[in-house]
Amino acid sequence: FENQNNVNIPDLGTATSSISVARTGNAPTALKVGVDIKHTYRGDLVIDLIAPDGSAYRLKNSSGSDSADNVITTYTVNASTEGASGTWKLQVRDVYAADTGYIDKWSLQF
C-alpha cells in the first residue's frame, strides 16, 4: 500500500498523509513503514504512524544535532494489536523554525 502524493510540511507545523487499507485480520508484528521525506534539516522532524483507531507509533524523534537532509528509510513497527483495515496516517511535525520540506511518498508493507 503506497501514497505517492506530495504533502508539504509547513515550517513549525504538521503534515498528514493517509493510506486506506482493506485487509482482514490484524497488522503484523513487523509492519514495514517506508518513508521518503525531502527536508533540508531532518533533525527538525518528529514522525509518527497513526493507526486506524488513533494509536500513535513513534518512528522518529527530533534531534537538533542531525543536520543532514531528507529521511529515506524503512521503519519496522509491532502493530499486531491493530486491525489492519482502515485509514493509516503518516504524521510529520516540524518542531524547529527555518527549514521546510515535504512528504514525497510513503508505504505500508503487511
Please state the pTM of the whole predicted model.
Answer: 0.96
Q: How confident is the model at residue 86 (pLDDT cuts 50, 70, 90)?
A: very high
Identity of the amino acid at 19: I
Q: Which residues contact 81 (CB under 8 A, 6 or more apart)?
A: 26
Q: How confident is the model at residue 70 (pLDDT cuts 50, 70, 90)?
A: very high
Q: How confident is the model at residue 63 (pLDDT cuts 50, 70, 90)?
A: very high
pLDDT, residue 32, reads: 98
DSSP 42-64: GGGEEEEEE-TTS-EEEEE---T
